[in-house]
Structure 1
C-alpha cells in the first residue's frame, strides 16, 4: 500500500469507528453526511519524527513536547503570543521579600485524567521526584527547572510552598515549561514504576488513547477538563519522516496541519490553497565541537575549522530567506543579545594554513536525518554543506546519520568530533540558552564544555535581578563562548508550519509547542 493510502486508512479507522455500513441511495447520503461530521471532529497533525516519550521529566525533545502540551499542564503557562507567565494549575502566587520562597494557591476541584485529585500533595510529589535523592540521570530538565529548589512544603490541600537555596530570576518562567514542570498523576507514576513515557496522565484538555509505534499517537478530548473544553474531539499525531511526503499528505487532505517544512515547499503548499504559519523563531541552530577530547579540546583548532565555513552563504543557500545567520547564541530579541558579539569569521586561507600546521586531515561528524524547528533543511543537508567547505581546506569529513530518537542516544554516548544540534527556547530567558554550555548532562551540553569561570558566571546570572546588569552577564557569557569557539552558531530559523484552509485557531508557540484545544475544523 502506498504511504498516502495508508495515511487515509489509518485516519479513517479512527474517525469512522462505529459507523454502520449502509446500502441504498438515500442511506448513502446519510452515511456521507455522517462521515463528514466525524471527519470534522478529528484533527490530524503530521510531524517529522516520533516522540522519545511522554513523561515530561524523562524527555527533552520538541517532538515529545508537541504531544505533551495537549495532555499536561503546569502550575503556570505562557501567554499565547509571548513567554509572559500566566496562571494555570496555580491561580495565584506570592513571593517572599528575599526571593527564596514561592507560595502557590492552587485551582480547586481539578482532577487528573485517571480521576484522582490534583492538589498540593501532587505538586510536591512531582517536584520531589526531580530533586535529590530521587532524581535520576535521565531527568535531563530537572536541573533546569528545579536546580535552585531546596524543598517543597504542603501548606494545605490547595496551597504549596517552594523554598529555594538561592534566588532565581528565571524560576517562575521555568515553571511554565513543557519539560520538567508539568504535573503528572502520582497514581500513574506509582502504577508505572515512575515512568509514564507510554502511559501519560495529566490534567490537560486531551487524554492519551494509544501509541502505535512508527505510526501515530491518538488523543481524545478530556470531557471532565476543569477549564475550557477542547473544540475538537479527536487528535492524531502522525509521524511522517519525509518532508515531501508530509506536504503531499497536507495537499491531499490526509493531514490537517504539518510542521518541519522548508523554503523549497512553501509555493507547493500555497499553490494547493493551504496556509502557512510564519513567525519569528526563538531558537539557535549550531554545530558543536566535542571539546572533551582531541582534536577539539584545543580552542585554536576549533577556531581554524570554523574559519573554513562561510555561514552567511550557507544559510542563504539552505534556508532561502526563512532563517537569518546567527551572530550570537541568543536570538536577537532576547535580553542579553548584543550585536557587538562576533563569532569566528570566514577565512579559508587562514583555516587551511592552521589546519595543515596542526596536521588535521579528517573528522568524524554525526547528524540527524529529519527536519527540526531550528533546521528545516534537516541535519543531513547541513552536515553535507559543511563537508563541502571542509574539503576545500584539506579536511575529509565522514558523516554518520541517524533518525532523531537514535541520534539523541548517539549524542549522549559522545563518540564524535563534531555534531549538529539546536535549541528552541523553553521560557524566553537568556539563561535557558547559555546554560546549555554549563550543564553536566551530555544530552544538553553536547560540546561537553567545562569552564569553571563560565559556570560561576552562569550562577551569578541566575541570581541577579532582572535588568541591565543581569543582561550584561549573559552578553559576557555569549562573548566567552564565541572566543572559545565552542559552537559555530549557524542560524535562527523562522517558525514555519502549514495547515488546511478549513482549520481555524491553529498556532505554533515560540517555545515549540502546538496547543490544539482551541483548534477546530470546518
Structure 2
C-alpha cells in the first residue's frame, strides 16, 4: 500500500490557503471594526509590505498544559503546538483525513508492520538544525524510551493510548524500531499492526521536535507526580519545531507569543506574529472581540453567536466531530453497579441539555463516535429519558432512599465539546437530583488541576469530559476511551479491551466495520460512561479576518489566515 503526495510542500501550503479563502468568502459579509494594534506590516512571504496589521491576537480559554506536545493532550496546548511544530503527516484541509506534510509520501508493507517515508528536503528546525531521517528516528525512540513518570497517563497520554507500550514493556508495544535509510528516507517498523498508524501521526503529540533542543533543554526532565507533573525547562520556554512560527515567550496566566520563522520551508502568509491571550471567561472573550482588543476566539457561547453575527462579526462553525460525555468512575462502589449506571442514563434528558446549553447544530449522542465515523451502529441499546425508570433501578440497586455522588467539573475553560462547563454541570445536576441523587459539586480549574485529577487519579466520581476527534478513525474515539484500564473510568473489562485490540489491527474497512458495530453495541450495554452530545463548535472573528482555515479536527495553522487590513 502506498500514499503518494501529488503536490510539492510549498505549493500544497498555497493550495491550503486558497481553500481557506474560498470558504471564508462564502461566509457573511464584512463590516469595518476596530483592530488590535500592529507591531509590523505583513509581507505575505514575498518581502513586499501588504499593509495589513500583521499581529493576530487570539483569545485562548486557558494556558497550554505544556509546550512539549508529546506531554500534552489538551486543545489549548495543541493550538499553540500546531503553529510551532509539524508532523510527518498532516490533515487534508477542511477534513479529518491524513495528507502529506514533512513526509511527501510513504509506502507500507503487506503485513502492515513496516512504513517507509520519503521526507521533504531542505527543512530546518527553528534552531537552524536539519530535519532529516535521523531526527525522525530520534523522536520515535524518545517516545518509546519514556520512563517512570513520563509514562503516566496524565503525561504521555497519546503515546500511552495509541502505542500501548514502552521499551521496558515491549510485549504490549506497537512501536518496534526506526531506521534512517538516508537523509530523506526513513523506515518505521511496528511490533504489531495498527490500522490507524498513518492517521495517528497527524496528531501534534507526534510532531517532529529538534533533537538538539530536546537534549539541550532537558525535555524529559519532568518532576512532581502523575496527579501534578512539573514541566521541563524545554516544555516551559524552549519548544523547537519546523512550523511557520517560532516560540517567543509564555507569560503564564497571561499569554503565549510566537512569530514567523524566516527559514520556514512553506508559505509564511500575512500573519507575522500571534498572541494567544488567556481569557478564561467566555463573557470576557466576547467583550474583548467587541472592543477590538482581540481578533478572534474559539468556542463562542451558544447565546452569543446571533448577537455577534448581527453586529457584523464573522461566525464560523466547525463540522461536529466531537463527543461530550458524563464519565463514570467505577472505583466508586455505587458506580460499579450496572443498575446505577443505567439509572444515571435514564435520568438524563439529552434533548433538554442540548437545547439549553450547547451550540446550534449539536446532535444528541447515542454512542461515543459521530455518525460519520466507521462502525457507527444505529441499533445500539439506548436509555430513553425516563425518571421513573431511573428511580426503580436505583431502588433495585439498594438506593431507594437516595444516593450521594461527587460530581467533578472544570472551571476556567471552554472546550469544543463543552463551551460552558458550569452550565452543563448545573443542568445535569438538576436532572439527577430529580431522581433522588444528591450531588456534591467538585469544581477544579481546568489547567492543571482538573485533567490531572480526572485522568491521573482515582479521586473523582461522575465527571464531565469529552473529545474532539483528531483524525477519522474509530480507534481514535472508542479505543482511546476504553481500550485498556484507565484511572478515569476505573474498570477492567478484558473482553472489551481484546475486542478493541483486534479491531484496530484490521486494515480492511469491510472487515473492520462489523467489529466496531458490535463493540459500540457492547459499550452501550456496559455503560462505562454516558454519551451526551456531538456539539458543533463556533468561532468568532473581527471583520478584518477574511478567512480562517476551520478544521473539524482543529488542524488550524495561522499562516493560512487571510486579512483585509
- From 403, 413, 419, give the equivalent of 2:445: 403
* Structure 2 residue aligned with 1:139: 156
Query: Which string of whole-angstrom CA distances, capped at 9 and with x for unpartnered residues, describes residues 387-413 of structure 1?
Result: 111221111101111221121112122
* Structure 2 residue aligned with 1:26: none
- The 8 Å contact of residues 112 and 118 in structure 1, kept in 2 or not, is answered as yes
Q: Report the secondary structure of 1:349's partner residue.
A: helix
Written as runs of structure 1 = structure 2, the 5 A alignment for 1:34-433 is 40-132=53-145, 134=147, 136-137=151-152, 138-147=155-164, 148-179=174-205, 181-194=206-219, 195=232, 196-198=234-236, 199-319=238-358, 321-357=360-396, 358-359=398-399, 360-369=402-411, 370-376=413-419, 378-405=420-447, 406-411=449-454, 412-433=456-477
Determine the C-alpha separation between the residues in 2 that align with 1:313 and 1:154: 55
How does the TM-score come out when normalised to structure 2? 0.83
- The 8 Å contact of residues 343 and 488 in structure 1, kept in 2 or not, is answered as no
Determine the C-alpha separation between the residues in 1 that align with 2:156 and 2:484: 12
**Alpha-carbon offset, residue 250 of structure 1:** 1.0
- The 8 Å contact of residues 232 and 519 in structure 1, kept in 2 or not, is answered as yes
- The 8 Å contact of residues 344 and 482 in structure 1, kept in 2 or not, is answered as no
- The 8 Å contact of residues 201 and 207 in structure 1, kept in 2 or not, is answered as yes
How does the TM-score come out when normalised to structure 1? 0.90
Could you say if the C-alpha distance between residues 308 and 489 of structure 1 is closer, same or farther in structure 2, counting changes exceeding 3 Å?
same
Query: Which string of whole-angstrom CA distances, capped at 9 and with x for unpartnered residues, describes residues 382-436 of structure 1?
Result: 1111111122111110111122112111212221220110001111101100113
**Is 1:514 matched up with 2:556?**
yes
- The 8 Å contact of residues 63 and 76 in structure 2, kept in 1 or not, is answered as yes
Which one is further off, 433-442 or 391-400? 433-442
Determine the C-alpha separation between the residues in 1 that align with 2:66 and 2:269: 23
Could you say if the C-alpha distance between residues 338 and 123 of structure 1 is closer, same or farther in structure 2, counting changes exceeding 3 Å?
same
Query: Which string of whole-angstrom CA distances, capped at 9 and with x for unpartnered residues, describes residues 11-67 of structure 1?
Result: 65xx4489xxxxxxxxxxxxxxxxx98871100111212110111110000111111
The unaligned stretches of length 5 or more in structure 1 are 1-10, 19-35
* Structure 2 residue aligned with 1:32: none
**Alpha-carbon offset, residue 520 of structure 1:** 2.9
Which one is further off, 348-357 or 289-298? 348-357
Q: Report the secondary structure of 2:477's partner residue.
A: helix
Determine the C-alpha separation between the residues in 1 that align with 2:289 and 2:308: 8
- The 8 Å contact of residues 111 and 226 in structure 1, kept in 2 or not, is answered as yes
**Alpha-carbon offset, residue 84 of structure 1:** 2.3
Determine the C-alpha separation between the residues in 2 that align with 1:164 and 1:320: 41
* Structure 2 residue aligned with 1:4: none
**Alpha-carbon offset, residue 344 of structure 1:** 2.1
- Count of residues in Structure 1 that have an aligned counterpart in Structure 2: 490
The unaligned stretches of length 5 or more in structure 2 are 1-35, 42-48, 165-173, 220-231
Q: Report the secondary structure of 1:426's partner residue.
A: coil
Which one is further off, 270-279 or 69-78? 270-279
- The 8 Å contact of residues 103 and 159 in structure 1, kept in 2 or not, is answered as yes
- The 8 Å contact of residues 549 and 560 in structure 2, kept in 1 or not, is answered as no
Determine the C-alpha separation between the residues in 2 that align with 1:322 and 1:49: 25
Determine the C-alpha separation between the residues in 1 that align with 2:95 and 2:39: 38
Could you say if the C-alpha distance between residues 108 and 50 of structure 1 is closer, same or farther in structure 2, counting changes exceeding 3 Å?
same
Q: Report the secondary structure of 1:343's partner residue.
A: coil
Determine the C-alpha separation between the residues in 1 that align with 2:243 and 2:375: 34
**Alpha-carbon offset, residue 505 of structure 1:** 2.7
* Structure 1 residue aligned with 2:10: none
- The 8 Å contact of residues 408 and 464 in structure 2, kept in 1 or not, is answered as yes
